[in-house]
Amino acid sequence: MSTIEEPDSAPPPTAARTGLPRVRPGDQTRLLTRLLLPAFAEGLIRRRPRAMAWAARVQADSDAVATVRDLRERYGPGPLQLSPAGRSVALVLDPDDLARMLRETPEPFTPGAWEKRRALDQFQPHGSLITRGPRREPRRRINELALEMDRPLHDLAPAITERVRAEASAVAGVATASGALSWDDFAAGWWRSVRRVVLGDAAADDAGLTDRLARLRSAGNWSFLLPRRRRAREDFLARLEERVRAAGDDTLAGRLPDTEEAAGQVPHWLFAYDAAGAATLRTLALLAGHPEHAARARTEAEEGDPAGPRTLPYLRACVLEALRLWPTTPVLLRESTEPTTWHGTVIPAGTVFAAFAPYFHRADPAGSYGDAFEPEIWLDGRAERNPALVPFSGGPGKCPGEDVVLLTASTWLAALLEGREYAVTSGVRPVAGEPVPATIDHFGLGFAVAAD
């Protein structure tokens, strides 16, 4: 890879007064303590198991959503102006405003906000998401092409299905024999499947590579405070580049063009597959708590030729629903590159626009399905018609990996469900007929497994 660009060491733009409704200091403190601090404690770039266990115990997202809902009721639809640590922040509360900020990406709303660049450049200095200016478009395009964005079955679906089924069946077999499945059991198989799908079978056992990435992601959690770990980053990127160079045509990395910087996109893929793993096990927990939905999912899993690639629409809808209820990107950020006008008010360049996804996905903008498990909304057009539901973001910055994620996750779930029943044995769990818990700790999930 070419020399590493340092995205930015300059300080972020500072707050300027706007004509937006200003959040009073007491309310700003409440947002800080009920939303921002818990999100930081849980780890925005790499979740921390102990903090996640605490967050699930106190149902931290319930407080955070209630705080945002209360601000919306008292101040109106916003955006609302905040100035934490001297930074100009506009809190977006209205689905149409959210849609605008996503639609008008990357200009005038760049996804490469200063905070995101500081965090992600710890391990993906060339990633499209944090690239600003003219270099963004070609990097974004490389991702869209290699991941075959918006195509439910990637050209590599047969190879992906085969690898995923092999790993998932091995995990399911051990779980059936022992009668139990934990996050750790699942995660070991998950990461083997990810390394095989992204980099090829030769990388199946290279846990050292993904462990190195995990350590750099932990550093990303502290992006404001910690210096860059340049040596560790160079080491990781060099090792990854070797793997990418050796990746065959039957792998996602093998679909990248043969340019010097293409490999610079792969750190994001490996990073983001972690969220997909969490979403997969959370979906299993939702199904375990909702027997009627589980029966429908199992019927789908057992239909057709399980060894061949399948679209598995119902299982995909269940994964999307898990991501609505527990979004893995809880805060969507954009930074304005020029002054923008909102409801007649000009907001200066350098303002961070922040949208808290759990509020949009669960509170009033979500409509009647708020806290319910209702995968049907992803099949009957309701979710598509609602601009508030953005688990994979939206507009020109939308996740180009969505279909590959849904293919991987639904294939995993089908293999786990075939001929087996699951019950959640750990503390916080979804139960049919009750509101789905606001926060779930995927590290702490445990299941009883029975074959039939």
Q: Give me the residues that bind ligand HEM (CB under 6 A), please.
A: 111, 128-129, 140, 143, 147, 268-269, 272-273, 275-276, 279, 323, 328-329, 332-333, 391-393, 397, 399-401, 404-405
Q: Which of residues 321 and 420 has its CB atom nearest to ligand HEM in the complex?
A: 321
Measure CA 234 to chain center: 25
Amino acid at 160: I
Q: Which of residues 194 and 449 has its CB atom nearest to ligand HEM in the complex?
A: 194
Minimum Å distance from CB 393 to ligand HEM? 4
The CB-nearest residue to ligand HEM is: 401
Minimum Å distance from CB 446 to ligand HEM? 21
Residue 281 has, within 13 A of its CA and on its CB side, a CA count of: 28
Q: Which of residues 126 and 268 has its CB atom nearest to ligand HEM in the complex?
A: 268
Cβ proximity of 267 and 213 under 8 Å: yes
Q: Which of residues 81 and 110 has its CB atom nearest to ligand HEM in the complex?
A: 110
Q: Which residues pair with 180 in a beta bridge?
A: 448
- What is the rounded distance in angstroms from the CA atom of residue 193 to the CA atom of residue 416? 14
Q: Which of residues 135 and 245 has its CB atom nearest to ligand HEM in the complex?
A: 135
Q: Which of residues 38 and 401 has its CB atom nearest to ligand HEM in the complex?
A: 401
Q: Which of residues 115 and 420 has its CB atom nearest to ligand HEM in the complex?
A: 115
Minimum Å distance from CB 439 to ligand HEM? 17
Minimum Å distance from CB 451 to ligand HEM? 28
Neighbours of 21 (CB within 10 A): 17
Q: What angle do CA 271, 277, 281 make, to 5 degrees?
A: 160
Q: Which of residues 133 and 419 has its CB atom nearest to ligand HEM in the complex?
A: 133
Q: Which of residues 38 and 111 has its CB atom nearest to ligand HEM in the complex?
A: 111
> What residues have CB less than 8 Å from 171, skipping those under 6 apart?
181, 185, 186, 188, 189, 416
Q: Which two tokens stand for residue 158?
A: 């047969």
Minimum Å distance from CB 197 to ligand HEM? 9
- What is the rounded distance in angstroms from the CA atom of residue 196 to the CA atom of residue 199? 5
Minimum Å distance from CB 352 to ligand HEM? 12
Q: Which of residues 75 and 395 has its CB atom nearest to ligand HEM in the complex?
A: 395
Cβ proximity of 250 and 158 under 8 Å: no
Minimum Å distance from CB 348 to ligand HEM? 21
Q: What is the torsional sign of CA 224, 226, 229, 233?
A: negative
Cβ proximity of 398 and 105 under 8 Å: no
DSSP string, 73-134: HHH-S--EEE-GGG--EEE--SHHHHHHHHHTTTTTEES--HHHHHHHTTT-TT-GGG--GG
- What is the rounded distance in angstroms from the CA atom of residue 375 to the CA atom of residue 317? 5
Minimum Å distance from CB 236 to ligand HEM? 17
Minimum Å distance from CB 405 to ligand HEM? 4
Q: Which of residues 273 and 447 has its CB atom nearest to ligand HEM in the complex?
A: 273
Q: What is the torsional sign of CA 366, 369, 390, 380?
A: negative
Helix segments in 290-389, DSSP class H: 291-302, 313-325, 357-362, 382-385
Cβ proximity of 424 and 430 under 8 Å: yes
Minimum Å distance from CB 328 to ligand HEM? 5
Q: Which of residues 263 and 449 has its CB atom nearest to ligand HEM in the complex?
A: 263
Name the pairing type of β-strands 340-342 and 109-110. unpaired
Q: Which two tokens stand for residue 261?
A: 């910087």
Long-range contacts of 307-310 (CB under 8 A, 24+ apart): 307/161, 307/162, 307/165, 308/158, 308/161, 309/153, 309/157, 309/158, 309/160, 309/161, 309/407, 309/411, 310/161, 310/410, 310/411, 310/414
Minimum Å distance from CB 130 to ligand HEM? 8
